[in-house]
Amino acid sequence: MALFHNMQCVRCSSRQLKIDAQSIQCERCVTTYKISHGVPILFPDVITQTISQDLPEEIIGWLGVVMDLPNDYETLSKLKSIFSTTYQFGDFLLDAENNQFLDRLQNSGINIPESAKFLLKTQTPITSATRLHQLLEQKNLNQINTVLDKVGASASVNIEYSSSPPTPRYRWILDYLPRRMSAAKVFTGNARLENVGTIPLSSHTAYPIMISYHWRTLNGEVITFDGHRTPFPIELGSGRQLTIPVKIETPSEPGDYLLELTLLEEGHRWLDEDAKQIPIKVTKEPIPDLTAHWQKSNQPPANYAENQIAGLNWLKAQLQETGKSEFTILEIGGTAHSMLFHFTGELYNVDIDIHAMQIGALLNQHWNKQVQFICADAHTLPFPDETFDAIILSNALHHFPDVRQFLRTIARKLRPDGFIAVLSEPVGHYYGSNISPDFLQELFKGVNEQSFTLAEYADIFCSSGLIAEVTADEGSLRAFLRLM
């Protein structure tokens, strides 16, 4: 099998590629892509920077052991060379996901030695989301301001307003709210917004910025003006986007309404200029459960390793049913220890983390496997349509900003009888006191962390044009998605 023979240029989609050990050049648009340590980097404008100081020998040796690589001079030298370079794409979300190989190791349960922790991207959260949520529930604005002022002062994030403070500006990008809701119900539903202003959107200042809503009739009459408050879990800087579970209470009477999502500066002003109106039908009848036919378990959530093993076994069983012995499979976000090592055929692992892909290529060579590791943006995959028998996303789908659009995009890469395997997806909303420290930590690092309910997943799969076979427990979801 020729190396990277099934690829196409991500700029012009041409398959006329000239490939050597150092680069890939498109013969049509003349775009050149670097190959570093056996990994194509399909970002022609990537910025590389050489680190002046080598990693200590003890860290290199520890990495070799953790990654199950041979403890020889050649391999350890390659590891040292891999971590001597950092990469920047010039995109906030991509750069947040890249260059954090050790962070991912730590998240998978591996203990990072003290001597290597300086390489982690970990930051200390600047607020207590749990305490803020409790005060909001109590509607104790005096205590909110007191607590937030103290936190802001200690973390140096308090904003000093002039006599004419700038107006926060925002843009609602998308939402996952159902268009039919039961009357007199309180729930949370995901909505995504972007800070398009010049100042941070923060619930941690003297005038905390909160998410709220109004209910209106179709002719604009206000039914509920002062909706529940939802705090921002982090300070959202200019240009950043965030998906947040918004707490909502529906009107008590059935009918057709407009739900107006908005922001406010608590105790100061409503910020309705950028509000978004969503038509909603409120009914007294129960809303049909689109997940009723899914296999559900009341078992507590499995840990990371157990989830990975269960997902792999589920995937093997599904592929065995096809009767094939070899497959064309793409894994997206598979990091270095790709699931593809367990299969044979034409195998591609695409991830944004260059260091993970380079170590994966080392493992591939050491274990004499067939996986090809590629650094690319999964929104612009370097493959023709109808290429793959299966596309794997393990603990990865929720990291994409627009999950529905992303699924539609990658579904085009499936053969007519192919499927998408969504494995180890977190389930449920992280709201208020339910926000875990790890989840909050990822948000602070800039990672696009979000989580969906089973009902939201059902709508996502259906609206993406996919038929879902799903197994779920209290904390995670596995789904096989096929074209309708």
Per-residue confidence band for 141, with pLDDT thresholds at 50, 70 and 90: very low
Coil/strand/helix, residue 350: strand
131 versus 472: the higher-pLDDT residue is 472
- In 3-state terms the chain splits into helix, strand, coil percentages (rounded to 5) of 30, 30, 40
Q: What is the mean pLDDT of residues 342-364?
A: 96
Q: What is the mean pLDDT of residues 425-443?
A: 85
- pLDDT(268) > 70: yes
Question: Is the pLDDT reported for residue 324 higher than 60?
Answer: yes
> Quick check: 302 pLDDT over 70?
yes
- One-character DSSP codes across 449-470: ---B-HHHHHHHHHHTTEEEEE
pLDDT band, very low/low/confident/very high, at 121 (cuts 50, 70, 90): low
pLDDT digits (tens, 9 = 90+) for 155-210: 333 444 445 678 999 999 999 999 999 999 999 999 999 999 999 999 999 999 99
Per DSSP, the chain holds a count of helices (H) and strands (E) of 11, 23
d(CA 33, CA 26): 9
Share of the chain above pLDDT 90, in %: 73
Mean pLDDT for the chain? 89
Structure tokens that stand for 139 in this block: 């509607």
Please give the Cα distance from 80 to 85 (Å, whole number): 9
pLDDT at position 139 over 80:
no
- Contact of 67 with 364, CB cutoff 8 Å: no
Q: Cβ contacts of residue 373 below 8 Å, gap of 6+?
A: 38, 39, 338, 349, 351, 357, 358, 360, 361, 364
**107 conformational bin, left if phi > 0, alpha if psi -120 to 50, beta if neither:** alpha
Give the residue-averaged pLDDT of 304-322: 90
pLDDT of residue 398: 97
User: Which residue pairs, CB below 8 angstroms and at least 24 apart, start in 344-348?
Assistant: 344/370, 345/370, 346/1, 346/6, 346/370, 347/371, 347/372, 348/6, 348/372, 348/374, 348/383
Phi, psi torsion values for 373, nearest 5 degrees: -100, 130
Q: Is the dihedral of CA 397, 400, 405, 406 positive or negative?
A: negative
* DSSP-derived 3-state class of residue 360: helix
List domains and CATH numbers for the chain: 35-119 (no CATH), 166-283 (2.60.40.10), 295-483 (3.40.50.150)
Of the given ranges (49-63, 111-125, 365-379), which has the lowest mean pLDDT?
Answer: 111-125
pLDDT at residue number 163: 57
Residue 64: which pLDDT band, with cuts at 50, 70 and 90?
Answer: very high
Which stretch of DSSP H or E encloses residue 364? helix 354-366
The model's pTM is 0.89
Length of the chain: 484
